[in-house]
Structure 1
Amino acid sequence: MIFTGFTNDDFDVFTVDGLEERMDALKTHIRPKLEQLSQYFTPMLSAEIGNELYPHVAKHARRTKNPPIDTWVAFSSNPRGYKMLPHFQIGLWETHVFVWFALIYEAPDKAAFGKTLETNLDQIYKQIPNHFVWSVDHMKPSAQKHGDLSKEELRAMFTRLQKVKKSEILCGINLSREEAIAITPEDFLKKCETVFKTLIPLYKMA
């Protein structure tokens, strides 16, 4: 299955009113593309990591009232789930596409990972490209550019991961809606591949 790229219709899904209506639009427009991405990246990531990864396309099944404001495919080492584990994600908000390495609040080993990140702060600070972004909350679309962060600000994120129960850490890129629509499907896949290869050392630390 070949990835066909994103269009305005995909991003407009998040403006559709009503839970059922938005879920129908999401299933029609975005989910097939997330399935395409899952088929492309599962073997690639598994080969790069040297361990089998499994795709998890968001189903938003627990929602009863509020329509989803973003959606994604995640890749983790467990066929049953990803939230408890370090994982990779590709997904969309109304404004942009995100390509992440993530460890979110449900992961039990966050404090140990935060310590590992802090220990490797100098290396991480040097190796993450300036245009990459960091986030401490996967439920908010905002993120901070690596090039704008001081080493101490990055350390504070890693320390927070060790101390705050609901803390998270995500690193990757955001592509604006306009960029995501303009880029060819082939170039989008190449870009994601480059991002994932840059983030694999973080995954291995976790």
Structure 2
Amino acid sequence: MSFNGFTNDDFNVFTINGLDERMDALKTTIRPKLEELGELFAPMLSVATGDEMHMHVAKHARRTKNPPKDTWVAFANNARGYKMLPHFQIGLWETHVFVWFAVIYEAPNKVELGKLLQSKIGKLYKDIPNDFMWSLDHTKPAATKHGDLSKEELSSMFTRLQNVKKAEILCGINIPRDEAVKMSGRDFIARTETVFNSLIPLYKMA
């Protein structure tokens, strides 16, 4: 396993101007690392979930002018795509690394999942670690710490998943850039594995 961790060069890719220039840097700098993480975690997640998980490294193929502000590798139990399925992600913004369980706007079973999450609110509120984050939009870097949410606020996220057509829900961690660049590859892998194990119950619900 050759993953050596993330460096400032990886995060600096998102400061490069121009679509082609940023994409070239992304392909040579970050994408090989995401592929390494994909090859490492797809088998682990397959065992943990009981589903055969396939990795999908973001290609940003539809972009014609705006350079990507983040990039990722996703894991889902379909070799052809992941956006319509509950899935896992590891990726970067300029400011941080994220490790998510995600149900995004293309998933068809959000109403059922929202109801199920709502029915387990007490257990989820207690079991999700306080330093984990919740996000309602995978296209924005902002997220809310679980420990800062009231049970009612968490419940309203689950209600939104049922009632808003474009609603999303993501749960996991953000590792600030300053912290991420100090982590060895081994430390990052260990931390990510711990996070994924904590998120498996959400995946199994979905």
Q: Give the TM interval when normalised to the shorter protein.
A: over 0.9
Once the two structures are TM-superposed, the CA of residue 2 in structure 1 deviates from its matched residue by 1.8
Once the two structures are TM-superposed, the CA of residue 86 in structure 1 deviates from its matched residue by 0.1
CA distance in 1, matches of 2:20, 2:115: 43
Q: Which residue identity lines up with residue 64 of structure 2 in the other structure?
A: T
TM-score for the superposition, normalised by structure 2: 0.99
1:98 paired to 2:98: yes
CA distance in 1, matches of 2:83, 2:93: 19
SS in 1 for 2:102: strand
Task: Describe how 1:26-105 pairs up with structure 2 within 5 A.
Answer: 26-105=26-105
Q: Which residue is equivalent to 1:193?
A: 193
Q: Which residue identity lines up with residue 91 of structure 1 in the other structure?
A: G
SS in 2 for 1:183: coil
CA distance in 2, matches of 1:106, 1:50: 23
SS in 2 for 1:30: helix
Task: Describe how 1:1-16 pairs up with structure 2 within 5 A.
Answer: 1-16=1-16
- RMSD, aligned α-carbons: 0.5
1:117 paired to 2:123: no
Q: Which residue identity lines up with residue 59 of structure 1 in the other structure?
A: K
Q: Which residue is equivalent to 2:180?
A: 180
SS in 2 for 1:85: coil
Once the two structures are TM-superposed, the CA of residue 187 in structure 1 deviates from its matched residue by 0.7
SS in 2 for 1:182: coil
The sequence identity of aligned pairs, in percent, is 70
Stretches (4+) displaced over 6 A: none
Aligned pairs, number = 206
Q: Which residue identity lines up with residue 31 of structure 2 in the other structure?
A: R
Task: Describe how 1:131-142 pairs up with structure 2 within 5 A.
Answer: 131-142=131-142
Once the two structures are TM-superposed, the CA of residue 125 in structure 1 deviates from its matched residue by 0.5
Once the two structures are TM-superposed, the CA of residue 14 in structure 1 deviates from its matched residue by 0.2
CA distance in 1, matches of 2:186, 2:193: 11
Q: Which residue is equivalent to 1:145?
A: 145
CA deviations over 1:126-151 (Å, ceiling 9, x no partner): 10000000000001100000000000
Structure 2 portions without partners, runs of 5+: none
Q: Which residue identity lines up with residue 39 of structure 1 in the other structure?
A: E
SS in 1 for 2:196: helix
SS in 2 for 1:123: helix
Q: Which residue identity lines up with residue 101 of structure 1 in the other structure?
A: F
SS in 1 for 2:181: helix
CA deviations over 1:17-56 (Å, ceiling 9, x no partner): 0000000000010000000000110000001111100000
Q: Which residue identity lines up with residue 173 of structure 2 in the other structure?
A: I
CA distance in 2, matches of 1:167, 1:179: 30
Q: Which residue is equivalent to 1:24?
A: 24
SS in 2 for 1:84: coil
CA distance in 2, matches of 1:86, 1:152: 24
TM-score for the superposition, normalised by structure 1: 0.99
CA deviations over 1:93-117 (Å, ceiling 9, x no partner): 0000000000000001011100000
Once the two structures are TM-superposed, the CA of residue 91 in structure 1 deviates from its matched residue by 0.2
